Amino acid sequence: MNTNRIFNFSAGPSMLPLPVLEKAAAELLNYNGSGMSVMEMSHRSKYFEEIINSAEALFRKVLNIPDNYRVLFLQGGASTQFAMVPLNLLSSAEGTADYIVSGNFAKKAYEEAQKFSPNIRLAASTKAENFVRVPNQDELQLSAEADYVHMCFNNTIFGTKFPYIPETGNVPLVADMSSCILSEPVDVSRFGLIYAGAQKNVAPAGVTIVIVRDDLLKEPLPGTPTMLTYKTHAENDSMYNTPPCYPIYICKLVLEWIESIGGLEALAERNRQKAAKLYDYLDNSQLFKPVAQKESRSIMNVTFRTDDPELDAKFAKESAAAGLSNLKGHRSVGGMRASIYNAMPEEGVEALLKFMAEFEKNN
């Protein structure tokens, strides 16, 4: 099928695996002999129950999630989690939580939490360095009395990632993994709660994945909206109200695709190779410079720039014309950003490298 598809380096929503889209298109009018589209079926139907149950089972298998964790399919994106985490995990309206601020979204989470308690603490921040690196373990000022520690594992805008899982003792660690979930294996047991907006590696925008340890499913702060209560969603198997059925279905197809190519180990190897090629080029380029510090580099979002903002703009424009879209960096960083999530094929990275080499020769 000649679909004239381009290489889309968008930070999110972003590329989905082609086999997933092809399967979705083929069964869009009639899912599995049901006589209807997945978009049309009752969420209480046996067809949809099989879809959501499979999506959960595959998530558990692919990410190796322990039995004492629940997998929830919610709405509202990471931005809603910025409120749900404190509303559900703070022990009281005076509860304490430690926030590690390693980028814009981590900062937003920190600010949102302050709506719900005066005792939200800044455990560390690399804002003074414009977030070109994440804090080290020994920079974290953690309190043993905190109800939880919050972090953002991969910082989409700055192209950084934690090279380690923070040690928080008995305090539950909460991680926003919106832009790195399913990119490589992760030891879920080190976290109390993991959340992720789906629109990078999991599914189209509209579903949020929450992986939460059983003991954290408790009564929320008084006045918490029912829909923002983890316990309610867990007790109803993510069906307290009508879930975002179609994105959940695409999530299932994506997980099947991950299994088909060898699971998370194989995918991680591929992701690391894709990123290594770009970083190798950047480390040796006379024109382009990587933005993130070496030990904090993301394998999902590769940020770089020249010394000339006008040249950066020219790069963004000419690369788009060449079928490499969305390479312009976020306005708070400038330069360029290549988001190379799971669905970006190696050919996309090769095409980008080729374009960069040409651009470097000509400018």
Among 59, 69, 82, 191, the residue binding a second copy under the rule CB under 8 A is 82
Q: Does 107 bind a second copy (CB under 8 A)?
A: no
> Which stretches within 31-146 are classed as H helix?
46-63, 77-89, 104-113
Q: Binding segment for a second copy among 42-50, 165-173, 261-269, 296-304 (CB under 8 A)?
A: 42-50
User: Min. distance of Cβ 95 from a second copy in angstroms?
Assistant: 14
User: Min. distance of Cβ 171 from a second copy in angstroms?
Assistant: 23
Question: Using an 8 Å Cβ cutoff, are 9 and 324 in contact?
Answer: yes
Q: Binding segment for a second copy among 80-88, 125-133, 137-145, 277-285 (CB under 8 A)?
A: 80-88
Report CA-CA distances (Å) from 35 to 21, 250, 251.
Answer: 20, 19, 21
Q: Between 301 and 340, how does the x/- string for binding to a second copy read (CB under 8 A)?
A: ----------------------x-xx--------------
Q: Does 261 bind a second copy (CB under 8 A)?
A: no
Q: Does 18 bind a second copy (CB under 8 A)?
A: yes
Report CA-CA distances (Å) from 244 to 70, 204, 250, 263.
Answer: 18, 10, 11, 25
Residue located via tokens 């920190």: 110
Q: Binding segment for a second copy among 132-140, 182-190, 238-246, 307-315 (CB under 8 A)?
A: 238-246
Q: Does 236 bind a second copy (CB under 8 A)?
A: no
Among 103, 135, 172, 244, the residue binding a second copy under the rule CB under 8 A is 244
Q: Does 226 bind a second copy (CB under 8 A)?
A: yes
Length of the chain: 363
Candidates 296, 300, 340; CA nearest to 164 is 296
Question: Using an 8 Å Cβ cutoff, are 146 and 97 in contact?
Answer: yes
Alpha-carbon dihedral 163, 166, 172, 177, rounded to 10 degrees:
-20
Candidates 210, 203, 149, 146; CA nearest to 177 is 210
Residues that bind a second copy in the complex, under the rule CB under 8 A: 1, 3-6, 8, 10-16, 18, 21-22, 24-25, 28-30, 33-37, 39-43, 45, 75-80, 82-84, 87, 112, 115-116, 197, 199, 204-207, 223-228, 240-247, 250, 323, 325-326
